[in-house]
Chains A and B, each alone.
Chain A
Amino acid sequence: MTWSDVGWLILSVAIFIGFINFVVLALTYLERKFIGRAQGRYGPTRTGPFGLFQPIADVIKLMSKEDVLPARTDKAAFWLAPMAVFVPAFVIWVSIPFTRDIAIRNLEMGLLFIFAVSGLSIVGMIMAGWGSFNKYAMLGGARAAAQLISYEIPLIIGVLGVAMISQSLDLRVIVAEQGTWFIILQPLAFFVVFTAGLAEVGRAPFDIPFAESEVVGGPFVEYSGMHWSMFFLAEYANTFLVAVLITLLFLGGWRGIGPATGWGEDVMMAFWFFSKTMVVVLVIFWIRTALPRFRIDQVMALAWKFLIPLSFLNLLLTGFYLFYGWSDWSISLMSLAVLLSAYYAVMRRRRSQIPRPTMVKVPVRRGRVLG
């Protein structure tokens, strides 16, 4: 490795971190606007044209806030926790290709690297929960530990199906293999990975560790200023990561209509990649506006009783498909059938357990109660 290599590496890392920060800021603006519209409001309008400078105003506010250190905290854990969450969330981006040619370091074991590093952020959550000397933070930390570790399993096993079909853990190869998008070949895996991915980064309806109305922000409750904004950046970077992974693994990555050579190819690849990612991001925001939050025991039940069996089933199906060389449509139909029957089984079980609500109204006629 020569000096110029090192220089390039540092430069590209700096550019990427700047880029991710920009994306995160853009996402916060987008989320405010989108959720505002969904709720019949405008969202930010006062800061610049269309409220575009709202994220910048937020950053200024966060930087100028006092960094509070509550009494009787475990100082080391308290100050290190934001780093422990922030660093993995950004290190992941090293191995993510944005187009076929643009990546800091495309790794042959890219998928493995991503899941290995993303698992580290749990440590930061627990440290924040423990170090804050706050019961709500502790509850949130415990919830985070339980939830995030549980959802690693269906997430990874769900992704394995994709890796098996494309015979690689290299994200570039996985995208190159998607002549038909893997969402068509593997709807079951898509469902499992998307759900588990949401839970893994703690987005609604799985935002149990950070639930505002229950544990008041969970592990972050005692943080303020820049340390809080590190958690915040990590959260949005992770949201974006889920969307990017879904795009890369299931939606054909940068594949799309466009010229096959020249600089136009790169531009179109980036265009398709970001359009698809944005669609997934908007779906994630949409889910947040529309769905109530699960309870912790229900979330754990969902992971262990529902998603993990489904992900293993997906693994099994994919194995048969590869071993016996079934045709593409058969696996996609079977995968879909399993998904639908699982849905049906859950609905059936739920109805039998708690009867559908029966509604009774007692009529009142001119001041007399009938019946």
Chain B
Amino acid sequence: MTTGQHLGTVDMLLNMGPQHPSTHGVFRMILTVDGEQIQDAEAVIGYLHRGTEKLCERENYRQIVTLFDRIDYIANFNSELSFVMAAEKLMGLEIPERAQLIRVILCELNRISSHMLFYGAFGTDVGVFGTPFMYGFRERENIQQLFEAVSGARMMHSYFRVGGVAQDVPEDFVPRTRDLVETLKRGIDQCDKLLTYNEIMLERTRGVGTITKEEAIDYGLSGPTLRGSGIPEDIRATEPYLVYDRFDFEIPIGQNGDCWDRFWVRMEEMRQSIHIIEQALNMVQDGPIQTPVAKFGFVKPPVGDVYVRTESPRGDFGVYLVSDGKDRPYRVKVRTPSFCNLMALRRMLEGAYIADAVMILGSVDIVLGEVDR
């Protein structure tokens, strides 16, 4: 040992991304590594910046929905919902119950499909050769077929409108969703069996990328990343919006705040989403799906500003909307969960291995469209 010490070693700067296959898009980490261990990490973002917030200032309210589709392109419905709700709150609109329930069902399905993508990507990050990826995408495909039937598009739906939804769901929506839910239940169990309690998986993910309760609050984390650290904070429960105050469900929380906990929280959230969907399906009744405002596309909120937050699959998705009384907003600011969650990455990566870096990034579940906006 003593002979080795005076030789001295130099830390290596390892540039991971933006073309690295497992940075989940165009994200870049500058890692300072000592052998295999990470000494320091710097996140470089902005490769996918499209200026969505500025673009919103020159489009009218109905057009902006399409822009919000592209902010979180994995959970389109959830991100549409935040904007639509902000405009509705500013105008003081009351939404028909049927529209609210349709929104809840679609958003929860979208949460499942988003978490399924996370599952697949995480499986690949941990090192299984594509099997979780295909499993996750199989379930996603089922959900997307339903989305296509409802909105006409598989991903960029632009289906929600200020004051309701664009058109009524197909006639067989409720029975079809019930079938889908049964399929999803089996699919989630299968995914769970493949990866969650695998011994190598436990060994790889337990105690890695740990973030304590206090740190999680200090960094302003939200969503499953926060709940993984053991804080039962879920906007659907603590500040219910839409009709979430009518449902019974559970908030899964982790104990250690490590990668496994974040993974498990998402797996369990999928089951809770299914639980919510089942309750919502029982409540769906015939009725109007829009307020007249939405029908004629004439949206002009009064002067004022409003902040609305919803629980997107990645966490607290907030929209701050300022209106000067015209038919397009004066200013839109989006508080995206991935962006804020990413701030804790440096802390999580401290002392981890290079192999873990990929996995820790995966466990935060970032969507670059949402980080860079």
Contacts and interface: CB of A to CB of B under 8 A. Distances in A.
Interface string A356-371: 0111111111111101
Contacts of B123: 292
Interface in A239-294: 288-294
B124 A357 contact: no
Given A213-B22, A367-B245, A297 B353 contact: yes
Interface in B172-206: 194-195, 198-204, 206
Contact of B246 (A136, A296, A367): A367
Contact of A288 (B129, B133, B198): B129
Interface string B104-140: 0000000000000000000111111111011100100
A35 interface: yes
A369 B251 contact: yes
Contact of B131 (A39, A297, A350): A39
A211 B127 contact: yes
A294 B21 CA distance: 19
A250 to B, nearest CB: 24
Contact of B264 (A214, A357, A364): A357
A213 B250 contact: no
Given A39-B135, A204-B127, A366 B358 contact: no
Given A40-B135, A208-B355, A364 B248 contact: yes
B138 A361 contact: no
A84 interface: no
Contact of B260 (A135, A357, A368): A357
Interface in B48-89: none
A367 B237 contact: yes
A139 interface: yes
B142 interface: no
A61 interface: no
A212 interface: yes
A41 to B, nearest CB: 6
B298 interface: no
Which of B128, B129, B134, B138 has the most C-beta atoms of chain A within 10 angstroms of its own C-beta?
B129
B104 to A, nearest CB: 13
B356 A295 contact: yes
Given A214-B358, A366-B246, A289 B131 contact: yes
Interface in A293-347: 293-298
A368 B204 CA distance: 36
The DSSP consensus for interface residues of chain A is mixed
A357 B250 contact: no
Contacts of A35: 129-131
Contacts of A38: 131
A358 B15 CA distance: 37
A307 to B, nearest CB: 15
Contacts of B200: 205, 291-294
A354 interface: yes
A211 B260 contact: no
Contacts of A358: 255
Contacts of B237: 364, 367-369
B134 A41 contact: yes
Contacts of B134: 39-41
B250 A293 contact: no
Which of A214, A292, A293 has the most C-beta atoms of chain B within 10 angstroms of its own C-beta?
A292
B128 A360 contact: no
A291 to B, nearest CB: 6
B250 A216 contact: no
Contact of B353 (A289, A295, A354, A360): A295
A216 B252 contact: no
B137 to A, nearest CB: 9
Question: What are the 5 closest A-B residue pairs judged by CB atoms, nearest first?
Answer: A293-B127, A367-B245, A39-B134, A361-B250, A362-B232
13 contacts: A136-B14, A205-B200, A213-B125, A292-B195, A293-B355, A298-B204, A350-B203, A357-B206, A361-B251, A363-B248, A364-B237, A369-B232, A369-B238
Given A35-B131, A295-B204, 10 more contacts: A215-B354, A291-B198, A294-B204, A298-B203, A354-B207, A359-B252, A360-B253, A364-B247, A364-B251, A366-B246
